[in-house]
Chains A and B, each alone.
Chain A
């Protein structure tokens, strides 16, 4: 299946950062013009038809989420655009904000019209300084051109868009952690329900959508929901950006049709495995997704297909590992991250992530015990289904899947005090 350029056409095209260029060459803001002729209900129904799913990780149907916003709460409604992009292995939103910011702005206008919001906050991770600057320049230009502000594109519709910079916390990508952070607090996720669409930012209904999700909206409105749905596969509309990294020859962001085989993405588009080595494992949806063996990875890129394969499409971060990778060390790298990022609020995650990391560190030091492997497996089980947000599971799934699928490496290091795989870590060339 070919690569698509629905939303990735202008990556590396500096001209596209200009609103007028976007208008003239990409029918820019025509989607918004069209949307203003439609009722909010019609837009939501069109987005429902499109089978657009949340592209941040959870894959919740976008139109349905918009439909949850209560009609007459009497409170202002907010859009919060999730640009925290901190799931390891994910880097797609950075491209949209850096190279095609007006597409995002247009998506925001349409979304806000549909959900009747007059303020949108873009929550961007603090590390993304340059993407923030590009996006802010685009927003400034949009205000100057009358695209944003008191009269959006000359209509009787007011919309303010603000960028809210994060400051280094993975948990702020979790939608309620994001809202807490937006309100000026620690990013401690909230108890649910209520869900943000009902009680979100500042006690008001809030739709939280990923950058890429929003960036797809203009084309959906321009070309129709059915067109977008047809582009993808069952229940997964359109295209999406896949981030391929690790031991591939051409790590990059690739826009694929939903339903494209994962092998095709890795071997054809991303150029296959470095040094002609064999693929050992793939994490298909950001580091929280369960690892797949090379055999299991022979499936399509869709939410349902990857779920059937025992993992998830998640944030679209495909991390490829070749045959020389020590899976114990790889898991330790992943677990370090989750232990560092656990917000500390609820018991299983706060205590479980640290415990797992210390055990992995001990294994790698050569001080393991054969029972450690089962203990870790059991702990990862106890961390699932018991926490406030999904970070606990995000930390537990890698542990569970690495051990279940590469158990011999864990048993070996626990017994022998050294890695079973000759550690031939790639030296940067």
Chain B
């Protein structure tokens, strides 16, 4: 392993590493535009030039391999001048439309210029006119004038999505990034080009002009869109609530995880967050005179508890059915198990929607199972025949149906629900099932709570609450704990974290829940070795 010196600090790196990889090991950041660790090396922006002892010219850190005894400076006069010169070249055709540019605040032209720029422009020629702001796909807008031709997006479409929509056409300073004629940037991963564009050339149609990035806060999370569990950041806005129609959740961005999603996420997940701010139950509801109407939490919970108790008292635990959901967190499933199966003795349970078919999947990130926690629910023993439960409810054998989240839109299910006795719907959004219910317990969405999901390969991953539950809706754990109390159960948990510690500690006895694997790196742990935790995943 070669040892080299960078800015006076010694570092040892793998044979074959590049200088930029070595700088990163030391926590030294070298400005770059074209370099992206997830794609081939272009070496064309010339921004990452560093000075290497005994090399006559500056070397690009992204491409130059390290060698033993190498001495590198990332801050010498020559390096700083090189960066300043490249920035001047890059900016001389770049429009000065920062005030109306969505990238403002997270633009690497702005960022590096603040640090390395010349500040006094010498460019008096007319800037090149190219095509401005036009949509190139369902999610992406291209501004060719802002483009600095780093080719990250074209390399993405060639090497990662392999969909080949984009290219650099023409040559010299007439070069432009554009769609291949007749193409649309509509591959399942198109949104990633927005993230990797270092400037404002590729912006998000959904996010354009919605919010300045400096008003955004971020929280680490996991995508709830499928069983892959891509690591993401939630970008939300609570400071300018009157903007963007009051939408709190502004966008999702992928967060690096070496073994799950690397730098990427799919569009389905990225743009699938709308339910967090739309079509929500903002308070509990009770059916009165045939219509669901506002209820106080005490009223709703009392009613739910009374109904459940009465059913057990009069007809036994067999008169209750509980349909859990693969959208619930492990902690919620663990608590629901305590409340319903251990507490009330319910045996009519299930969690998988029998009508739901696998959705689109591919051999990259997207899984056919569109639930984030199918594996977690299965490992906790929530398997069961939901159709049979609904049939029992329709026949009157089951008197009370406690239904988490599921949207039973199918005619068959709707007909069965019509015939069911009392239906308690515990969920965040209005749907076909909630419309048939007698009582709604308005719960929080994933972005509003802490918890873990177990992905398809058995990794337990943490997500954290970015937002408070909308209006009067409440976190599922709080709802269940209050219900438990009314059912006379003695459950002493303060929050999801308590549940996590207990559940995780029992399930993964040989692992430290506070350890590196689960707390850091996006809150993941490696998949359990075979046999240690339930059955193997049913990967798509």
On A, residues with C-beta under 8 Å from B are 169, 186, 191, 339-348, 350-355, 358-359, 362, 369, 371, 375, 382, 385-388
Contact = CB atoms under 8 A, between A and B. Distances in A.
B90 A191 contact: no
Contacts of A375: 122
Contacts of B292: none
Contact of A351 (B93, B122, B168, B170): B93
Nearest to B49: A386
Contact of B46 (A343, A358, A387): A387
A386 B58 contact: yes
Contact of A385 (B58, B93, B171): B58
A176 to B, nearest CB: 12
Closest 9 CB pairs of A and B: A344-B175, A354-B173, A351-B89, A358-B125, A382-B85, A342-B172, A385-B57, A344-B171, A346-B44
Given A375-B122, A385-B58, A346 B45 contact: yes
Interface string B428-452: 0000000000000000000000000
Nearest to B123: A355
B122 A362 contact: no
Contacts of A352: 89
Given A344-B175, A354-B128, A386-B86, 10 more contacts: A342-B171, A344-B172, A345-B44, A346-B44, A346-B45, A347-B46, A347-B47, A350-B173, A382-B89, A386-B49
Contacts of A387: 46
Nearest to A346: B44
A359 B46 contact: no
Interface-central residue, B57, B82, B88, by most chain A CB under 10 Å: B88
A362 B125 contact: yes
Nearest to B122: A375
A344 to B, nearest CB: 4
B357 interface: no
B124 interface: yes
A340 to B, nearest CB: 6
Nearest to A350: B173
Interface-central residue, A343, A347, A358, by most chain B CB under 10 Å: A347
Interface string B108-147: 0000000000000011111010000000000000000000
B462 to A, nearest CB: 41
A344 B149 contact: yes
Interface of B, helix, strand, loop or mixed by DSSP: loop
B89 A348 contact: yes
B168 A344 contact: yes
A348 B172 CA distance: 11
Interface string B87-98: 011101100000
B43 A191 contact: yes
Contacts of B126: 358
Given A385-B57, A388-B43, A348 B86 contact: yes
A344 B174 contact: yes
A36 to B, nearest CB: 40
30 contacts: A186-B171, A191-B60, A342-B172, A344-B170, A344-B172, A345-B44, A347-B44, A347-B45, A347-B46, A347-B47, A347-B90, A348-B86, A350-B172, A351-B90, A351-B93, A351-B173, A352-B89, A354-B128, A355-B123, A358-B125, A358-B126, A359-B125, A362-B124, A369-B124, A371-B122, A382-B89, A385-B56, A386-B57, A388-B43, A388-B44
Given A369-B124, A375-B122, A353 B173 contact: yes
B173 A386 contact: no
Nearest to B47: A347
A116 B470 CA distance: 74
Contact of A346 (B41, B46, B88, B123): B46
A186 B149 CA distance: 15
Interface in B46-101: 46-47, 49, 56-58, 60, 63, 82, 85-86, 88-90, 92-93
B35 to A, nearest CB: 12
Contacts of B49: 386
A339 B173 CA distance: 8
Nearest to B175: A344
Interface in B457-483: none
A343 B49 CA distance: 20
B325 to A, nearest CB: 51
Interface string B305-316: 000000000000
A357 to B, nearest CB: 9
B340 to A, nearest CB: 62
Interface-central residue, B45, B82, B173, by most chain A CB under 10 Å: B173
Contacts of A186: 168, 171
B43 A351 contact: no
B200 to A, nearest CB: 18
Contact of A355 (B45, B125, B168): B125
Interface-central residue, B44, B45, B58, B123, by most chain A CB under 10 Å: B44
Contacts of B124: 362, 369
Nearest to A339: B172
B389 to A, nearest CB: 61
A371 B174 CA distance: 26
Contacts of B60: 191
Contacts of A348: 46, 85-86, 89
A386 B82 contact: yes
A38 to B, nearest CB: 38
B44 A386 contact: no
